[in-house]
Amino acid sequence: MMEWTDRHCRYFLRQLSHHCLLYTEMVTTSALLHADPGRLLQFDPAEHPVALQLGGSQPDELAECARLGEKHGYDEINLNLGCPSDRVQSGHFGACLMAEPERVAACVTAMTDAVAVPVSVKTRIGVDSQDSYEHLYQFVDRLAQAGCGTFIVHARKAILKGLSPRENRSIPPLRYEYVYRLKQDLPELEIILNGGVTSLDEAEAQLAHVDGVMMGREAYHNPYLLADVDGRIFNDSRALPTRAGIVQQMLPYIVRELQAGCELKHITRHMLGLFQGIPGARAWRRQLSHYGPGAGAGTEVILAALEAVA
């Protein structure tokens, strides 16, 4: 979800659910340590609970970045071991680290020693030929011994040579049974399932086997599915927010960000899917896509788009 779940996206998604845990896009240790951490780690207090997702492979660097994340107020620090892109591999982090459990264990130990907030790991079920359940179990068990108690497991292996990141999200088969078995064999761990879940009905069914479900692209492209998360998953009795109500809730934030120098398009690009699947969705997207990038565009663009849906 790099370049997707930025702070504007997360603020928008928080208007749909008060309780779901939001994750940042992956931030590399080199970016945090050699750029402006205040800019990269900025977020609105309304985003809580929110986790900082890190990419890196050096224990000392990950420890320092975890400290920065805790200092800036993040509720969890997550180590990404799932991304299979060539750029990530060339930086020696992401999914390729599944082949180096001792290095990852050292990273986890350094991170958990550095901060008081929880440290989690996002991983695949395997990488290339190392794709047996036994390998997954040994890998997760080793990281648990190093101090990690929460694992977000993408139920596909990563194929590092020959498949693009997009193909790695669909071609390797889903092996949910690996994730279920992991929870059975290591019941003391929090096991979150990721991959292939596109509805709350599916998510609820998965919760019979695991502790939680992570949803990525489906939640981004069809965000309103999150509107019922609080009621169905977290037993929150608050009224279901309406799409128009969510737009109205975004307006004060948008005004504030525009006054701070942000361009409207950087916020509205995350809102394009709000009316997905209902009459007027195309008009909403067209208005925002056409007028949102204009110089000086303001809330009048959003209000006109909302009127076009009605």
Instruction: Report the catalytic residues.
Output: 83
Residues 166, 163: Cα–Cα separation, whole Å:
8
Q: How many CB atoms lie within 10 A of CB 252?
A: 10
Contacts of 227 (CB under 8 A, 6+ apart): 16, 17, 240, 241, 246
Query: Which of 160, 19, 4 lies closest to 87, judged by CA?
Result: 160
The CA R_g of the chain, rounded to the nearest whole Å, is 20
Residue 120 in contact with residue 151, Cβ under 8 Å? yes
Query: Which of 157, 83, 65 lies closest to 122, judged by CA?
Result: 83
Residues 197, 216: Cα–Cα separation, whole Å:
9
Which residues partner with 50 through β-bridges?
22
**Helix (H/G/I), strand (E/B), else coil: 67:** helix
**Helix (H/G/I), strand (E/B), else coil: 127:** strand
Angle between helices 243-259 and 7-14 (to 10 degrees): 150
Before 252, cis peptide (omega within 30)?
no
- Number of helices (H) and strands (E) in the chain: give both, helices first: 16, 8
Q: How far is CA 251 from the centre of its chain?
A: 24
**Helix (H/G/I), strand (E/B), else coil: 271:** coil
